[in-house]
Amino acid sequence: MTKIVDIKNLKSNEADMFLKQKMQEVGIDSQELARRLKVSPVTTYRWEKGDRKVSPQQAILIADILKCEPEDILFPAKKIELIELHSYAEDYVVKSLFKKNYRNIIIPGGFYTPSTKVVQFYMPGGENHNEIHLFERSHNSSDYFGFSEDAINKTCYIEPLDKDRKRGFRDVIGILERDRTKKKFKINILHPETKKPFTNGSSVDPKDIKIAAPRKMSFFESFNKYKPGRLPSNKINPFK
């Protein structure tokens, strides 16, 4: 079970949280960051703790190491505590809830933004029934939409272009894999359990993918019972 953190009580600001999050994602600490930047470990430690601001010049160098954008270091998107649930997944195909059943989900501690995609799994009898999954790109700049290489070999929320949706393509939760049988760069969208393609064995052009957001976290809503008034009664089935 994921540890739940009350974001309102966090003392670090958004920039500090983003820097810590990215350092953890790439697996380096403040000393290693200092070594790569050729600065004092005291400096990187103060950045991490929020005791010193990162300059624009330093942000460019840090972003190159942490695989993000400089503006993400300087002006990260604001954390959110709640996100409204609009979708559920049945056999990994994403479907829309009726609007009357939209509800707010409390997000566990982490760096999530209004661009986060949230999907609840509907698998009666399965271990993952009612599990909440959060999906987000590695950064949230203006190019959030579209295919990104950070999605390769990961379980992602995948949304096709509108023109392909009209041809019957659906939003799915799938694993993106490069099709190495093709000379041109093509992508297979695989069912997470069967590992069979959703697209009847044919690979897709990355340009036809509107959103490919890797999964960042999954959790159950059991902790919400301590937050009265936030969710509808357990007797309500939001999938009907």
Q: Looking at the domain assignment, is residue 166 inside a domain?
A: yes
The burial class, CB within 10 Å (0-12 / 13-18 / 19+), for 169 is: buried
Q: Looking at the domain assignment, is residue 168 inside a domain?
A: yes
pLDDT at 225 over 50: no
Q: Looking at the domain assignment, is residue 59 inside a domain?
A: yes
173 and 202 inside one domain: yes
Q: Looking at the domain assignment, is residue 87 inside a domain?
A: yes
Tell me how far the alpha carbon of residue 170 is from its chain's centroid. Answer: 19
198 and 137 inside one domain: yes
Confidence of residue 79 (pLDDT cuts 50, 70, 90): low
Q: Residue 45's domain spans which residues?
A: 13-74
> In which residue are the tokens 């069967």 written?
194
Higher pLDDT, 109 or 19: 19
Q: Are 89 and 173 in contact (CB under 8 A)?
A: yes
Higher pLDDT, 85 or 116: 85
102 and 211 inside one domain: yes
Return the structure tokens found at 237.
């089935």
How many C-alpha atoms does 157 have within 13 Å on its Cβ side?
26
65 and 101 inside one domain: no
CATH number of the domain within which 37 lies: 1.10.260.40
24 and 137 inside one domain: no
Q: Looking at the domain assignment, is residue 200 inside a domain?
A: yes
pLDDT at 108 over 50: yes
Confidence of residue 138 (pLDDT cuts 50, 70, 90): low
pLDDT at 81 over 70: yes
Q: Looking at the domain assignment, is residue 182 inside a domain?
A: yes
For residue range 31-62, what is the model confidence (pLDDT) as tens digits? 999 999 999 989 988 888 777 888 888 989 99
Q: Outline where the chain has alpha helix (H).
A: 14-26, 30-37, 41-49, 56-66, 70-74, 162-165
For the whole model, what pTM was predicted?
Answer: 0.63
Confidence of residue 5 (pLDDT cuts 50, 70, 90): very low
From 61, 56, 67, 21, select the one nearest 38 (Cα to Cα).
61
88 and 60 inside one domain: no
Q: Are 157 and 137 in contact (CB under 8 A)?
A: no
d(CA 150, CA 214): 8
Q: Looking at the domain assignment, is residue 226 inside a domain?
A: no
Per-residue model confidence (pLDDT) at position 12: 43
Per-residue model confidence (pLDDT) at position 119: 95
